[in-house]
Amino acid sequence: MARAFNRTDGDVTGALQACLGEGPGVVLLGPGTYVCSGLRIPGNVTLAGEGAATVLKLGKGSTLVEQDSACGWGLRDLVVEGSASGDWKNRTDAGQAGIAVGKCWGYEILGVVVRHFDGSGVRIRHTALAPDKAPYCNGGNLDRITIHDCHTGLCFGERGEYLNAVGISAYQNVTGVVIHAGNVKLAASNICSNLDGVFIEDQENGSHGALANCLVNHNGRHALWCRNVKNGMTIQNTCFFYGDIAIEESQGVVISGGEICCNMFVRGGGLNRIAGNYVIPYVGICEKFELAPKTMLDGNFSSTGAWPEGQPGK
């Protein structure tokens, strides 16, 4: 059953929370700005707006939508607006979050824009994995989410696992995407124009996920930064242009079948594999390759020939 909520005077947290608590169904928000904080969407309830015309604006709290231990909820077709201002490159992590998810499963976040947070735009932790909850395949689904002007765009925090993220656009964040969890799938996404594009570092049960068919372009420092990745990470059919690829004290990182136009540094760690990539040797962008001795190279090539011993086309 659908029900409408259109009150926009002052802080509407209490009234909107009461409307959400009326039971399963869809709560419809019309055009307007709804000031609230600490909002919780119950299980089997969807909060839906009318696209860019519907704005959830952060009130006095630090988190706008805060989900905990709920199944089957949804958030779609609206804007989640924080209070951060000034140059996005100076964002700090002050603990804010646009959407914070913990111990949930079977939910959907679709067609949402998240912006202007001194912290994470979207942060997910501790998927509720159990036979009667998430059955190792249905942690949650994220689709067509745009995140910008935050410290961290999208963060898969500790044990934020078995998630499907597709069509993510993360730009103008200090870090576009952070992955601390295993069993994360990120595909068909643009991670561009951040300071750091994708940062992967193990926490509890970290890495051993997949990044596929993405553009990781025009990031200012790192395109990809893997640090202390011990369980492996598969990165396929992805274009890296500008920024550095840095793989530090890691093992099992596989970058294959993509394009590389950036400097690459592999330092320490165990076996990592760089295979079947087209390397574009632009001067000043893609000319420095420092690869640890254990790095496995296979079938990489460039416009000037093969890529022998870590040097593109030389």
- Nearest CA to 226 among 195, 263, 197? 197
- 45 located within any domain: yes
Cα separation, 140 vs 106, whole angstroms: 5
Provide the β-strand partners of residue 141: 108, 164
**Is residue 191 a contact partner of residue 224, using CB atoms and an 8 Å limit?**
no
- DSSP reduced 3-state for 45: strand
Which pLDDT score, from 0 to 100, does residue 312 have?
47
Number of domains in the chain: 1
Say how far apart CA 105 and CA 73 lie, in whole Å: 9
- Class of residue 314 by CB neighbours under 10 A (exposed 0-12, middle 13-18, buried 19+): middle
Residue 247 inside a domain? The answer is: no
Is 253 a member of any domain? Answer: no
Q: In the Cβ-directed half-sphere of 261, how many Cα atoms lie within 13 Å?
A: 14
Query: Cβ(5)–Cβ(31) under 8 Å?
Result: no
pLDDT tens digits, 252-310: 999 999 999 999 999 999 999 999 999 998 888 998 899 999 999 999 998 877 664 44
- CATH code of the domain covering residue 159: 2.160.20.10
pLDDT at 306: 60
pLDDT of residue 252: 97
Containing domain of residue 177, as a range? 2-220
Identify the helix (H) or strand (E) that includes residue 13.
Answer: helix 13-20
Residues recorded for the chain: 314
* pTM of the complete model beyond 0.75: yes
194 part of a folded domain: yes
What pLDDT does 85 receive? 96
Q: Tell me, what's the pLDDT at 307?
A: 62
Mean pLDDT by 10 residues, the chain (314 residues): 92 98 97 98 98 97 97 98 97 97 97 98 94 83 98 97 96 98 97 98 94 98 97 97 97 97 95 95 87 92 67 43
Q: What is the pLDDT of residue 79?
A: 98
pLDDT given for residue 313 in this prediction: 37
Identify whether 235 is part of a domain. no
